[in-house]
Structure 1
Amino acid sequence: MHAAIVPVPALVDERRTLYRLAAEIAAPGTKLSDNLADHPIVRFEIGRVLAGKGELDPALLAEVAAMKVRDVGVLVAADPAAAEVLERPLAITAPQGVRPEPLTEADGDRFEAALAVVAEGVRLLRSLAPEMAADFLPHVSMLAVLKRETSGGLVSASSRYVPGIVLIDEPALPMEVAEALVHEGAHEKFFDLAITREFLDVGAEDADYFETSWSHARWPLEQTFAAWHAYNCLAQFNASIGPEQRLGPDSLLTKANERAAEIGAWLLVHENDLCADARWLLHALSGTALPGAFAEVGDVAGPNGQADARARGVDVTLSTEDSEDLHFHLLPGVRHQRAASGRVVVGKASQPPQLSWLNEDASWTLDLWRIDETTKKSFRWMLSRAAEEWQVDSAVAESRLRSALASLVSESIVGSPGTS
């Protein structure tokens, strides 16, 4: 189901593209390697800038990325300085009043024993659910093992504020590690989907809260969808393991299917608060049909046709009279990068920086300025290029190009005479 939205390699590349653009805007000249772009603390620091809570220090990024890790199928924090480097994610995810401490090489045999259990847990996951492992592990950039006596019973945790890192209690069983990687890996997958695809918008903050029947906790929409997604993944994992597998004392596997159904039923009632890709995934995993207009334009193999149709059907278009002889230019302060998938993320050097993904036609149109950002482009020239490269007749190309340009103008990305 995830691959129908976007395959793993494309999703990881799009995530890196977004962070690279954000870093370039926040600190011009900053270049992120894959290692830097994946590092949870680097992503946390960039996230702070995007939230308007500080400036980006490129020297700090290089410093935190130098923290020593051990590779046992996932990268495990091993540096004796890990507690200091990972202070923020530890504080964000810890229960109130708890100060968890990571196990590191400074803990000697205790760390090596935990590392061996983690390695066996990764192998177990790949053995029991190879497709799930291939789907989730690329989104887990780092794992930190917490000393059990300091964790406050955390079991496992992740946070969208520090994406890419998974925290787990010091494991006794490989199955505890495998389950944690499914649970938190599903969250990390969701975090990447949420910043690259149409899942939630600002309206999610005002949506109704969901109340769980098992603890009566109240969750906002984003947390509700993330929990539903994780419980679905845990239920699928539970179906792939045999009765001989010993579960940890805090396992959620036997409860996952029931909880996924409860949350899913609530989400279906509130699906109008979700964006296109989230609605598609909700119905695909629930085995229900997309309603109304979504069903008319949707693709049974995935939501991409549906999203493109909606993007091309925007209400704002350029009139024939106004656009026929117009020349368009890229507005000052606009920066953009193209992912390997062809999608373009665009940003503005504002405070805080603003980033957004463009639909297929708007991406193609903006890319016309990739070689020379200062040259004005005439509508007629762009239309000729569009008809040729899109391999459609002139009337179809004209309609699509008008919509693409209208969206770029409305977002203050390109301008025509009279705009600046």
Structure 2
Amino acid sequence: MTGSPTTSTHVLHAALIPAPALVDERRTLYRLAAEMFSPGTELSDNFADHPIVRYEIGKALAGHGDVDPALLIQVATMGVRDAGVLVASDPTAAEVLEAPLRIVAPPGVRPEPLTEADGERFESALHIIEEGVRLLEKFAPDMAEDLLAHVSMLAVLKRETSGGLVSASSRYVPGIVLIDEPTLPMEVAEALVHEGAHEKFFDLAIAREFLDESAEDADYFETSWSHAQWPLEQTFAAWHAYSCLAQFNLSVGSEQIGPDSLLVKARERADEIGEWLLKHESDLRADARWLLRGLAGDTVELRGEAAAQSQVDGVTLSSEISDDRHFCLLPDVRHKRAASGRVAVGRAARPPLVFWLDEDASWTLDQWRIDGEAKTLGQMLARAAEEWQVDPVTAAVRLRAALGSLLDFSIVGLLEEH
């Protein structure tokens, strides 16, 4: 796996799922979670995108407390300035952004955000950020559109407090990018590619088939340049970011780069990590393997075609799913449909369970939205064959598989026969 990839990162991302659709799926998941914790809560796009709102909902999903709608409103009113990306500007930013500042801080360091309270110093940084966004859009417009869709906020750290932290982001507080106080626009452009790639990955990881719980037990990757050891999730995230940086580096020409730039090292590091990932791809799920192979230069089929095939192959059919058995939607199930047609489902447990259904299971669950009545496979079969545009035999196999998965996840139940 050497040399430049044959397909651009933004092209492969879009083939997997276009950025607007991915953002919508992510918002759908957070909206579902918010409604589960606080019935009646409706998140606007701005609320659903806000990094601290997402952090609070993520904490609750992990079993650490509930969601307080009043707190969400409070954090979402923090002032920002538009510099091509939204920049935290409120004098209260240090308090509101406590979580990401703490999580990304090097040991013994307490970063402080630069805000409007710092007057001309903040305005100067804001101007450099604007120029950095323009550079990114000039050199790599498609990449800018692809990655910036996932950057909800940027916070600038005062240089004397950052501990040398060039740029950072965290999957625990997705959507926010933290950068050291910039001196060059190119530093900003590079940071937005680097951390924007991470933010893209965070959204892909929660909406698509990338990693599962077994990733925590997979082998660690050791870097040749620092001998740091990374778990699989961090390894994949780093490979993805270096791949984006390597592509960006091909576009920047003679533009002056920052002293801490990784651009000239990106291709070599992406290749090193990519070769290791290819040897460990059995630890990755389908979409992660597809993206890995696509950037490695392998010929890959469209994910939609592969997904449709996977819904039929290798399924285990339950003997309980006969044509005349009645199924009902269980009462503790909540679900929300994304614009893509995929359905996020939640179950009221402690902590709650939230997950995505595949396309066939999403369609099947949607049948209860029509009237909520108990249904049999036989009642749904004709509609499935017509809407899926397949023959009745294929439709029956896919519908049985979908009902089987809904039974396994305790989303639907069988009515007792009398």
Structure 2 residue corresponding to 1:132, chosen from 126, 143, 150:
143
Counterpart of 1:330 in structure 2 is: 329
The two structures, once aligned, show a CA RMSD in angstroms of: 1.2
Counterpart of 1:273 in structure 2 is: 283
Alignment of 1:4-403 (within 5 A): 4-243=15-254, 245-288=255-298, 300=301, 302-319=302-319, 322-373=321-372, 375-403=373-401
CA distance in 1, matches of 2:235, 2:311: 27
TM-score with structure 1 length normalisation? 0.95
Per-residue displacement from partner, 1:39-85 (whole Å, max 9, x unpaired)?
A: 00000000001111111100000110000000011000000000000
Q: How many residues get paired?
A: 406
Per-residue displacement from partner, 1:221-247 (whole Å, max 9, x unpaired)?
A: 00000000000000000001112x111
Secondary structure of 1:52's partner? coil
CA distance in 2, matches of 1:384, 1:327: 16
CA distance in 2, matches of 1:260, 1:75: 29
Given that residues 276 and 303 in structure 1 are in contact (C-alpha distance below 8 angstroms), is that contact kept between their aligned partners in structure 2?
Answer: no
CA distance in 2, matches of 1:313, 1:37: 36
Moved more, 79-88 or 348-357: 348-357
Secondary structure of 2:154's partner? strand
Given that residues 316 and 407 in structure 1 are in contact (C-alpha distance below 8 angstroms), is that contact kept between their aligned partners in structure 2?
Answer: no
CA distance in 2, matches of 1:390, 1:311: 12
Counterpart of 1:296 in structure 2 is: none
Shift of 1:314: 4.3
CA distance in 2, matches of 1:257, 1:5: 23
Shift of 1:356: 1.1
CA distance in 1, matches of 2:405, 2:309: 14
Shift of 1:303: 2.0
- 2:398 aligned with 1:409, yes or no? no
Q: Which runs of 5+ in 1 are unaligned?
A: 290-298
> What amino acid is aligned across from residue 55 of structure 2 in structure 1?
F
Shift of 1:332: 2.0
> What amino acid is aligned across from residue 82 of structure 2 in structure 1?
D
CA distance in 2, matches of 1:372, 1:146: 54
> What amino acid is aligned across from residue 161 of structure 2 in structure 1?
T
CA distance in 1, matches of 2:313, 2:40: 37
Between the aligned residues of both structures, percent identity stands at: 71
Q: Which runs of 5+ in 2 are unaligned?
A: 1-11
TM-score with structure 2 length normalisation? 0.95
> What amino acid is aligned across from residue 36 of structure 2 in structure 1?
I
